[in-house]
Amino acid sequence: MPEGRRCFGDGDPLFEHYHDDEWGFPVIDERGLFERLTLEAFQSGLSWRTILARRDAFRAAFDGFAPDAVAAYGDADVARLLADAGIIRNRAKIEATISNARATMALRADGGPLETAVRSHAPAPRASPPASWADVPSTTPESVALARELKLRGFRFVGPTTLYALMQACGLVDDHLADCPARPAVQRARRAAGLV
Domain annotation covers residue 180 = yes
Range of the domain at 165: 13-192
- Count how many domains the chain has: 1
Domain annotation covers residue 74 = yes
CA dihedral 37, 30, 170, 147 (to 10 degrees): -50
- Label residue 19 exposed, middle or buried (CB < 10 Å: 0-12, 13-18, 19+): buried
Domain annotation covers residue 113 = yes
Domain annotation covers residue 50 = yes
Domain annotation covers residue 105 = yes
CA distances from 194 to 41, 143, 187 (A): 27, 20, 11
From 30, 35, 40, 142, active-site residue: 40
pLDDT recorded at residue 60: 98
**The whole model's pTM is what?**
0.94
From 18, 23, 73, 164, active-site residue: 18
Is residue 23 flagged as an active site residue?
no
Q: What CATH number is attached to the domain comprising 153? A: 1.10.340.30
Mean pLDDT, consecutive 10-residue stretches, the chain (196 aa), reads 79 95 95 97 94 97 98 98 98 98 95 91 92 95 97 96 96 96 96 91
- Label residue 192 exposed, middle or buried (CB < 10 Å: 0-12, 13-18, 19+): exposed
Domain annotation covers residue 158 = yes
- Of 39, 4, 3, nearest to 22 by C-alpha is 39
Is residue 73 flagged as an active site residue?
no
pLDDT recorded at residue 66: 98
Domain annotation covers residue 6 = no
Is residue 18 flagged as an active site residue?
yes
pLDDT recorded at residue 3: 65
pLDDT recorded at residue 73: 98
Domain annotation covers residue 1 = no
CA distances from 107 to 149, 159, 189 (A): 11, 18, 27
